[in-house]
Amino acid sequence: MPHINLLPWREEQRCQRNKEFGVTCFVFAVLMLVSVGSVHYWFTQQIEFQSQRNKYIENQIAELDVKIKAIVELDAEKDALEARMTIIQELQSSRPEIVHLFDEVVMSLPEGIFYKKIAQKGRSLTMTGVAQSNARVSSLMRNIESSDWMKNPKLQEIKRDQQKGTEQETLRLSNFVLTTLQQGPKVKAAGEGLGDAPAGDESS
């Protein structure tokens, strides 16, 4: 029986298997690298895309901040203009009132009284003056009460002050401080100032 040596064949088969195993490992390694690279590239793209979106949002926010600041400045200018318009309208409406008020101040002043100072704060008037007697101050208050442009006179202070005149007579004057409120013209009662109503039929 012939003797067959199988060692070279087995060695060759083992080498072939090793080569196949190496190739398989290499292919798997390449596939792994490709997969990892693909995943890394995908995540990189997603991060870059999100970064672009974030940058776009930040730019839009910056633009909105500029617009909001401009709107706030416009609102401030609008409020300032409205305040100026209100002041101008008040001045225009109060201008004739001031004229009437000064006329009423003069017309309500009885004999024997003169003013030393008149101060106005808002709608309040403070009158400082000198009267020959307390009765004249009372007359002044009645005149103010019946005025169309002033109301609620209040006597804050009155002091007697002796003033020396000639040798034959001595004047006793009263220094007073009076406050009152400015008002618009009093509205007349309905029918006041109107002519007689037309007469009805006289037939019975």
The segment with the largest mean pLDDT, out of 58-67, 94-103, 142-151, is 58-67
More confident residue, 186 or 64: 64
CA dihedral 32, 34, 39, 44 (to 10 degrees): 140
Grade residue 1 by pLDDT with cuts at 50, 70 and 90. Answer: low
- CA nearest 175: which of 139, 127, 106? 127
Q: What is the pTM of this model?
A: 0.45
- Between 6-15, 97-106, 165-174, the lowest mean confidence (pLDDT) is in 165-174
What separation in angstroms does the CA of 197 have from each of 38, 59, 191, 203?
Answer: 105, 78, 9, 17
Structure letter (DSSP) for residue 150: E
Which helix H or strand E contains 144, and what residues bound it? helix 134-145
What's the average model confidence in pLDDT over 159-177? 68
- pLDDT averaged over the chain? 80
More confident residue, 196 or 46: 46
The tens digit of pLDDT for each residue in 57-72 reads: 999 999 999 999 999 9
Beta strands in the chain (DSSP E): 113-121, 124-131, 150-164, 170-182
The tens digit of pLDDT for each residue in 19-48 reads: 888 888 888 889 998 989 899 899 999 999
